[in-house]
Structure 1
Amino acid sequence: MNSTSQSDSTIDPPIETIQFYYNGIQIIGKIIIQTKQDLVVEMTSPYKGFKTGLHKPHFADPRSSYLDEEGLDYAITN
């Protein structure tokens, strides 16, 4: 069977740095794991070593993905 959907396999991102502000404090982190349904980020500033992740069940929205810019924007704002 052929499929046109994105693979769920892990993409090894280049050490991609993400930055945003929360309550006036700059938060900086790097993406550790990035798949269609999972995203794990390690904070590098203002603290080091803290990791957290998001998982989006396939049935919640099978069209969405953390592999594109829209998915990363969603992860940061929610």
Structure 2
Amino acid sequence: MTSSIPIVAKPIIVGKPAIVVVDIQKNGFVSDPANERLPFMSDTAERFLRAKTVIDAARANNVPVIFIQEAHRDDMIDFGRELD
């Protein structure tokens, strides 16, 4: 069965956009601490700088930026549960 309903492209952003930034707080742009519980990715600094360009562009265009911090139990037993 073939549909005769045309496919219409929809806008990427509908309504009131916002940027949600996970785990990048003010200390995210400093060197990795020696006692970090989880190792950073080797290109963390570059990733954070790319994220900062998105954050700066959002702010320049009056798009709200929402910062959240993911937290895990001290024993890390829950690490990765968000992937389930």
TM-score by length of 1: 0.25
Q: Normalized per residue, which structure has more helix?
A: 2
User: Which structure's relative contact order is higher, taking Cα pairs within 8 Å and 6+ residues apart?
Assistant: 2
For the pair shown, the structure with the greater C-alpha radius of gyration is 2
TM-score by length of 2: 0.24
Q: Normalized per residue, which structure has more strand?
A: 1
